Amino acid sequence: MFSFYSCFLSDTGHACFLYQNCNILFVLWLDFRRVPVEVFGFITCEDLILVLFSRLDNVSRGNLGAVKVLRDLLPEPGRLLFIYADLGDAKAVNKIFAENALDAVMHFAAVAYAGESTMEPLRYYHNITSNTLVVLEAMAAHKVKTLIYSSTCATYGEPVKMPITEQTPQLPINPYGKAKKMAEDIIIDFSKTTDMAVMILRYFNVIGSDPEGRLGEAPQPELRVHGRISGACFDAARGIIPGLKVKGIDYKTADGTCVRDYIDVTDLVDAHVKALAHAKPRKVGIYNVGTGKGRSVKEFVEACKKATGVDIKVEYLNRRPGDYAEVFSDPSKIKQELNWKAQYTDLKKSLQIAWKWQKSHLNGYSHMGGRQNGKCYLRLPAAEKKNQKLTRRDENVIWSLIVLSPSI
């Protein structure tokens, strides 16, 4: 059980907790969205998790410069441990668990492009489903019993009835959603044989950025072909691409374009904070994380035009394989059980915040770290490259971070 170190109101007005001597293993693909802020000399639970959210991507094609930002804010030894490892390498993963005293795992790692999954299905099943098995086996072997798992609304497929509840049948229509559902099923089946505390969060469409402008989305060029609408809008507004290509105008929606539930990253973080606080042994909690309101692609584009002040050129094309017409959540369960509700629902404002970072970082994180000769690199002081381990005996450790990169 986690012991609360202190409780206070965050700058978002929400209750936020610090956990004393709690080592959390964050398994993710790096492309961080927000950096933590110091509160009473310690990092806040909410802001540390917020560091982890951006367009999920792996280290091999992401931005290690974002890690440098985090390192600069957590310079003290033992506060943060960064490990670059292959999540598909069971030996390496078990070594990390064996050498560090871990209390919980937040498993964010996955490739996350529905369209790409239809062209590279085996890659998705490997990275999402197979690698989740590696994590669970390591947790079992080393008696780590708390898991917060990042899932997706793509597991529902294309339901006939809206809004989507947690009881809506899961009938995914693309390999991304199918792989995530398989991972969910494995986690649930495994939890029945243990006293694990499991929380599964099914994200809807994440948008937004760090309100302080310190971190934002900077996808590598090869990701743009499978990119999300916010990134494509910003690329068009910046002139990186000549215009925006909207795929699909014949869906059975009000204006013919897809309808999605866009959740701001700040709200998503708050959901994870509450999920960790409410995780209980021998219980599995499953929650939709969305606003409960659907917005069409056309609505999104108009909001982006207003947020950027650019009259983005739009070209309408045929549908993209693997997409579905309408998806939006019923977040009643998470509100009732975790006391969570989306607060940042102004689409234009969320896009304005993200656009501000884009304008101030025209070259992304290239000045901090990135790729060179096809390999990842990160410029860090030599002292930070020494091997470190996390132990529960270290009274100075409030939050610790270990990062794994999944295999490609």
Give the CA angle between residues 109, 202, 144 to the nearest 5°.
55
- Using DSSP, state whether 372 is helix, strand or coil: strand
Q: Cite the active site residues.
A: 176
3-class secondary structure, 177: helix
Apex CA 117: angle with CA 113 and CA 118, to 5°? Answer: 130
Q: How far apart are CA 142 and CA 99, in angstroms?
A: 10
Q: What's the chain's Rg over C-alpha atoms?
A: 20
3-class SS of residue 338: helix
Rounded-to-integer distance, Cα 102 and Cα 98, Å: 9
Are the beta carbons of 164 and 288 closer than 8 angstroms? yes
> Nearest Cα to 282, choosing from 137, 108, 146, 106?
146
Contact present, 248 and 260 (Cβ < 8 Å): no
Ramachandran region of residue 248, left (φ > 0), alpha (ψ -120 to 50) or beta?
left
Instruction: Count how many Cα atoms sit within 13 Å of the Cα of residue 169 in the half-sphere of its side chain.
Output: 6
Contact between 29 and 56 under an 8 Å Cβ cutoff? The reply is yes
- Give Cα separations from 159 to 316, 326, 402 (angstroms): 25, 8, 37
- CB neighbour class for 326 (10 Å; exposed up to 12, middle 13-18, buried from 19): buried
